[in-house]
Amino acid sequence: MDPMPPVTHALDSQPHAIVERDGVRYTLLGTAHVSQASVDAVRAAIASGEYDHVAVELDAARMQALTDPDAMARLDLVDVIKTGRTAMFAANLALAAYQRRLAEQLGIEPGAELKQAVLDARERALPVSLIDRDVGLTFRRAAAKLGWWQRVKLGSGLAVSLIASDEVPADEIERLKEGDMLESSFADFASHSPALFETVIVERDRYMAAALRAAGAGSPTPRNMLAVVGAGHLAGLSRELAEQTGDPATMRASLESMPKKRKVPWFAIVVALLLIGGVTWGFENGGLKMASGVIVQWLWITALMTAIGAAAAGAHPLSVLVGALVGPFKPFRPTLPSGAFSALVEARLRKPTYADFIAVRDDVRTLRGWYRNRVARTLMVFILTCFGTMAGEWIAIARIVGKLAH
């Protein structure tokens, strides 16, 4: 085999690591996602002609967002809601809003070095591999490992990043220069949550190493591959790439799968037992009228609170009505949130326009923009309707338990 070419001088001043295995030299270039120096280093490395394959820390959706600003405008919001991708859409929107704040503050687009790597590689007709896991899938796997209260905190943190308009703190920018975009977008939460850090950083190191191995083995061409990744991944990724064993495709599949949810619907069982207990108590103490009153109480409280949540989001009256009708039955169909029904009706009755999609990243930065933009308002209908249902469930449960305790 021909000797490997020397490392380009373009990387001398940049953090990097070299891993050789299976006949391929992988040069991992650690970049800062908000640094012009990183952009320059990427351009110089590719221009050197030493690499025959380029890999970047992007998934398909993030690359499209970077290289095709109008990609979001072609999104089918109804399909997003029907396929249960609303939470992933919200996570992507939060990340985009955070990146917009950084761009305005620092004068450089976050991830510019990744975008430049793709553009320069295409210009030179070099193969490009997207090695990162889908950000929405990472968010879902992270949330699945957290407790109920931690998921609320994570969702709240994403919501704050959507509407925040103040400057990004200097210490957060410094962490971003040495870390990872997703980790920084979750602010301090990742550092205080081992489960989230495992999913956002460690799992992705493993995933990207498997993707690099697959890219290296999938074609006879790449013998010298440049991988552009955030500096925060450099140590973990180089270690994984050197030591990882097993089939890369199998490993990636396991890191893309969602943990199976518990099969026992405990919440639905508890609610059913409480309703049965309430009905029994009512029948013994006041006959059929009081027994049926327990059921009616559950229905009207959960329906009312669901309707209040939808109305607070500025939903169409029919969206409010649909939410109120399905809200009381949420515990018995846990995979179908009430907010999905209301948001689906909202998206059909008030179909977002091209302009709404184009302006959504800017509009979500103000409360008025949330209500004005149809994309943002549909997302808000989904969120607040779900919160309304949750509030109604707990209020109704508290009232029924109060009756049973006496």
Q: Which domain holds residue 321?
A: 266-405
Res. 4: pLDDT tops 50: no
**Count of domains in the chain?**
2
Same-domain check for residues 361 and 399:
yes
Pairing of strands 128-130, 24-31: unpaired
In a domain? residue 87: yes
3-state class of 197 per DSSP?
helix
Q: Half-sphere exposure of 368 toward its Cβ, with a 13 Å CA cutoff?
A: 0
> Using the 8-state DSSP alphabet, how is residue 263 labeled?
S
Q: Residue 212's pLDDT is what?
A: 94
Q: What is the pLDDT of residues 6-26, one digit of tens each?
A: 445 567 777 889 999 988 999
Res. 194: pLDDT tops 50: yes
**Section 56-80 average pLDDT:** 79
Distance CA 212, CA 100 (A): 29
**Is residue 180 very low, low, confident or very high in pLDDT (cuts 50, 70, 90)?**
low
Share of the chain above pLDDT 70, in %: 72
Q: Residue 1's pLDDT is what?
A: 38
Q: Is 197 exposed, middle or buried (0-12, 13-18, 19+ CB in 10 A)?
A: middle
Q: What is the pLDDT of residues 87-113, one digit of tens each?
A: 777 777 776 776 677 666 667 777 788
Q: Which pairs from 317-324 meet CB under 8 Å and 24+ separation?
A: 318/345, 318/349, 319/343, 319/345, 319/346, 319/349, 319/381, 323/385, 323/388, 323/389
Res. 358: pLDDT tops 70: yes
In a domain? residue 64: yes
Q: Which amino acid is at 124?
A: R
Same-domain check for residues 187 and 235:
yes
**Is residue 61 very low, low, confident or very high in pLDDT (cuts 50, 70, 90)?**
confident
Q: What is the pLDDT of residues 201-250, one digit of tens each?
A: 788 899 999 999 999 887 666 689 999 998 888 888 999 999 999 899 99
Residues 149, 106: contact at Cβ < 8 Å? no
Residues 51, 225: contact at Cβ < 8 Å? yes
In a domain? residue 115: yes
Same-domain check for residues 274 and 397:
yes
Domain boundary among 227, 256, 285: 256
Domain boundary among 256, 291, 321: 256
Res. 381: pLDDT tops 90: yes
The pTM assigned to this predicted structure is 0.71
Same-domain check for residues 139 and 233:
yes
**Section 309-330 average pLDDT:** 93
Domain boundary among 187, 222, 256: 256
Same-domain check for residues 41 and 170:
yes
What is the signed CA dihedral for 343, 160, 200, 226, rounded to 10 degrees?
100
Residues 45, 56: contact at Cβ < 8 Å? no
Range name among 51-60, 240-249, 352-361 with the lowest pLDDT average: 352-361
In a domain? residue 39: yes
Same-domain check for residues 22 and 113:
yes
Range name among 47-51, 147-151, 308-312 with the lowest pLDDT average: 147-151
Q: Average pLDDT over the chain, rounded to whole?
A: 79
Higher pLDDT, 308 or 143: 308
In a domain? residue 3: no
Q: What is the pLDDT of residues 290-312, one digit of tens each?
A: 667 778 888 899 999 999 999 99
Q: Residue 141's pLDDT is what?
A: 81
**Section 281-295 average pLDDT:** 70
Pairing of strands 16-21, 224-230: unpaired
Same-domain check for residues 234 and 270:
no
Q: Which residue has the tokens 């955030």?
A: 230
Q: Residue 187's pLDDT is what?
A: 47
